[in-house]
Structure 1
Amino acid sequence: MQSSARNHFSGVVQHIQAGVVTDEVQIQTDSGAQLVATITHGSAQTLGLKNGSQVIALIKAPSVIVVTDAQGMRFSARNQLQGKVTAIKTGSVNSDVQIESQGLQVVAIITNDSASTLGLAPGKQATALFKASHVVLAVPA
């Protein structure tokens, strides 16, 4: 599958909490990381999702927030992947930041000012945050 989303994570549906409008889908990635997606109930039905379904979670890089020094902080974003910065590519305005966490390579696009303020460099501890509503799910055809 090709997609413009930089983050693609294959996994298996572990649990679905069905709602009238939206469903919460818990996913265990192939590397063992846990992710949560919130999608419409209609989409969950159209995709035929059930426990054990194979899925691909897609997250666009600009939807990923990078946090450092977050000890004692709580965030409303359901997906919080703690790891280390593995690479940074600096552009004229934004930086492409890669964070390795639980066997996943998560890519975030943040401003150069933010990357500088956070002191991001390869090897630095960082957490990738993204909301469950920013996760798009796909299933094999």
Structure 2
Amino acid sequence: MNISARNIFKGTIASIIIGAVNAEVNLALEDGTTLCSIITIGAVKQLGLQEGMAAYGIIKASSIILGSNMQDARISARNIMSGTIRKIVDGPVSTEVDIEIGAGNTLSAVITHESARKLGLKEGGDACAIFKASSVMLGVN
């Protein structure tokens, strides 16, 4: 399977909590980071998801919000990953930012040029990637 999403993380399903309509699936990455995904119960059944099985967390770069100095921030997004900016591709409308988040994992975000400018993002600097659990798609082989 080839897909256009830039952020694909392999992990192991740590937990599945079934609700009335949706399920919360927590995917443990090799470095100990957890991705939280909210998907439908139908998707859990269709994919045959079970705790302990391998799966992939997939996040579109355009679904990621970047921040700096998030130490005291209180937000509702379940996924916050901090790291070091490794690459910035700046364009007149959009800017792509690659953040190393540990254990060789890199997360790519596409934000507006103006937002990147206001944040003062620089290669080698720190940043936080923020995305909602509903933005994390899951896949299995």
**How far apart in 1 are the matches of 2:40 and 2:116?**
34
**How far apart in 2 are the matches of 1:33 and 1:71?**
17
Instruction: Report what 2:107 is aligned to.
Output: 106
**How far apart in 1 are the matches of 2:7 and 2:95?**
16
Q: Structure 2: 5+ residue runs without aligned partners?
A: none
Instruction: Report what 1:121 is aligned to.
Output: 122
Indicate if the aligned counterparts of 1:81 and 1:102 stay in contact, CA closer than 8 A.
no
Indicate if the aligned counterparts of 1:32 and 1:102 stay in contact, CA closer than 8 A.
no
Instruction: Report what 2:47 is aligned to.
Output: 47
Paired amino acid for 1:135: V
Instruction: Report what 1:132 is aligned to.
Output: 133
- C-alpha distance after superposition, 1:63-98 (max 9, x if no partner): 000000222111111000011111100122100001
Query: What's the TM-score, normalizing by structure 2?
Result: 0.96
In structure 1, the residue corresponding to 2:4 is in which secondary structure? Answer: coil
Query: What's the TM-score, normalizing by structure 1?
Result: 0.96
Q: Structure 1: 5+ residue runs without aligned partners?
A: none
Instruction: Report what 2:89 is aligned to.
Output: 89
Paired amino acid for 2:77: A
In structure 1, the residue corresponding to 2:76 is in which secondary structure? Answer: coil
Instruction: Report what 1:23 is aligned to.
Output: 23
Instruction: Report what 2:56 is aligned to.
Output: 56
Paired amino acid for 2:45: Q
Aligned length: 140
Paired amino acid for 1:34: T
**How far apart in 1 are the matches of 2:59 and 2:114?**
23
Give the 4+ runs in structure 1 shifted more than 4 A.
none
> What is the deviation of 1:30?
2.8
In structure 1, the residue corresponding to 2:121 is in which secondary structure? Answer: coil
**How far apart in 1 are the matches of 2:121 and 2:106?**
16
**How far apart in 2 are the matches of 1:71 and 1:58?**
25
In structure 2, the residue corresponding to 1:69 is in which secondary structure? Answer: coil
- The CA RMSD measured in Å over matched residues stands at 0.9
Indicate if the aligned counterparts of 1:61 and 1:107 stay in contact, CA closer than 8 A.
yes
- Identity of aligned pairs, percent? 41
> What is the deviation of 1:100?
0.9
**How far apart in 2 are the matches of 1:136 and 1:72?**
28
